[in-house]
């Protein structure tokens, strides 16, 4: 067994209750990984508590074991743990309130595929080549010689499905497909999963999407696409809406302005070219990644739009972005940063 896996194996040689957590705003890889890891613990025979500092989206409730994930915001644990396993969290603040359950002598296992600064775990099973944390857990199962049962298989499948954006993002590779093939062989119904996660939307979300798309505006010769949603729809999920703007042919920069409450906006930015939208976001007090970034803004939308468009126009000019560029090539050339919640 490779040294990292050996360390994990020793970490799992434990009598007491283990805490297993992931990041807040949990996505399919966070939830799937927590569940797959719990399946691993089931097989080894370790007691555990699963917790996330958030309510897990109901669309994942079909997953075996989902009901065991505790919402730490609503049901805090009020104690500390000797050992904690943290899955899919690039940095410690990402686990939110769960940090309170760690003390100096707590042994921390960090399993992740994000690129981060200094690793925060006592044991770090990190592989930035993996398309999802689920992929690392698949390797762990094999290293430990465990059988992949239905609970593990569903967790791993959903993790890969979600983090590759349904096999869309540039982290999708031959291994993503190979593992999914094996998970289907182990009993995963890919149709059932995809219907639950992507095609079972509250009607309010669809109405919010209609309103958002109706607002579509193009600027700078179609290089910038702007969509917006007002606070009337503040209770609707708008995850992925910005992708509709970045899917328009010829668009280099996409912006989604969501009104959270009167005069408070959440702005998401996407780049399909060499412009670094994190730089743009930082000018407005936000941050993010090269291809996906965001910020919050207090004020009037008219001014926000004016300031933002001026900045985006400057960027287009500075980077000599014109209509002749093949934006798909630009998108594919560099990694699309996914699951960033910006």
Asked if 113 and 127 count as a contact pair (C-beta separation under 8 A), the reply is yes
Instruction: Report 257-286 residues binding a second copy (CB under 8 A).
Output: none
CB of 228 to a second copy, least distance (A): 12
Helix 150-163 and helix 174-185, axial crossing angle in degrees, nearest 10? 150
Give yes or no for residue 185 binding a second copy (CB under 8 A): yes
Instruction: Report 85-114 residues binding a second copy (CB under 8 A).
Output: none
Asked if 36 and 152 count as a contact pair (C-beta separation under 8 A), the reply is yes
244, 266, 296, 319: which one binds a second copy (CB under 8 A): 244
Tokens of 55: 């309510």
Stretch in the footprint of a second copy (CB under 8 A) among 36-44, 74-82, 104-112, 329-337:
329-337
CB of 137 to a second copy, least distance (A): 18
Give yes or no for residue 199 binding a second copy (CB under 8 A): yes
Tokens of 229: 């949603």
CB of 218 to a second copy, least distance (A): 7
Tokens of 158: 């959903």
52, 111, 209, 312: which one binds a second copy (CB under 8 A): 209
Asked if 269 and 254 count as a contact pair (C-beta separation under 8 A), the reply is yes
- Which one, 95 or 227, has the nearer CB to a second copy? 227
CB of 113 to a second copy, least distance (A): 17
In angstroms, rounded to a whole number, what is the distance separating the alpha carbons of residues 231 and 254?
20
- Of 243, 250, 257, 330, which is closest to residue 290 (Cα–Cα)? 330
Q: What's the CA angle centered on 256, arms 236 and 172, to 5 degrees?
A: 90
Give yes or no for residue 340 binding a second copy (CB under 8 A): no
| Residue length of the chain | 342
Residue with tokens 């949990």: 26
47, 79, 207, 234: which one binds a second copy (CB under 8 A): 207
* DSSP code for 103: -
In angstroms, rounded to a whole number, what is the distance separating the alpha carbons of residues 76 and 74?
6
- Interface with a second copy: number of residues (CB under 8 A): 54
CB of 176 to a second copy, least distance (A): 8
Residues that bind a second copy (CB under 8 A): 62, 166-170, 172-178, 180-182, 184-185, 189-192, 194-196, 198-203, 206-207, 209-211, 213-214, 216, 218, 222, 225, 243-244, 246-250, 328-329, 331-332, 336
């Amino acid at each position: 067994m490779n040294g990292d896996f050996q360390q994990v194996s020793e970490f799992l040689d434990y009598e007491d209750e283990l805490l297993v957590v992931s990041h807040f705003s949990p996505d399919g890889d966070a939830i799937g990984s927590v569940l797959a890891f719990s399946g691993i613990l089931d097989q080894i025979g370790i007691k555990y508590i699963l917790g996330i500092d958030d309510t897990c989206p109901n669309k994942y409730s079909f997953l075996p074991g989902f009901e065991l994930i505790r919402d730490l915001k609503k049901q805090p644990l009020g104690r500390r743990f000797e050992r904690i396993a943290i899955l899919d969290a690039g940095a410690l603040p990402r686990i939110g309130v769960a940090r309170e359950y760690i003390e100096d002598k707590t042994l921390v296992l960090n399993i992740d595929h994000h690129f981060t600064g200094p690793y925060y775990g006592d044991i770090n099973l990190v592989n930035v080549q993996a398309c999802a944390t689920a992929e690392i857990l698949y390797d762990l199962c094999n290293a430990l010689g465990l059988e992949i049962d239905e609970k593990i298989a569903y967790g791993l499948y959903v993790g890969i499905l979600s983090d590759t954006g349904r096999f869309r993002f540039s982290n999708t590779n031959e291994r993503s497909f190979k593992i999914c093939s094996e998970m289907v062989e182990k009993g995963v119904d890919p149709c059932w999963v995809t219907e639950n996660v992507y095609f079972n939307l509250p009607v309010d979300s669809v109405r919010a999407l209609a309103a958002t798309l109706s607002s579509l505006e193009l600027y700078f010769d179609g290089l910038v696409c702007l969509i917006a949603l007002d606070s009337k729809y503040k209770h609707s999920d708008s995850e992925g809406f910005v992708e509709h703007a970045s899917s328009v042919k010829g668009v280099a920069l996409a912006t989604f302005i969501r009104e959270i409450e009167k005069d408070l906006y959440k702005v998401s930015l996407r780049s399909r070219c060499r412009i670094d939208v994190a730089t743009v976001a930082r000018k407005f007090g936000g941050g993010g990644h090269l291809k996906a970034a965001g910020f919050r803004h207090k004020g009037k939308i008219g001014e926000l739009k004016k300031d933002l468009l001026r900045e985006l126009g400057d960027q287009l000019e500075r980077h000599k972005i014109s209509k002749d560029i093949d934006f798909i090539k630009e998108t594919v050339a560099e990694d699309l940063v996914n699951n960033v919640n910006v």
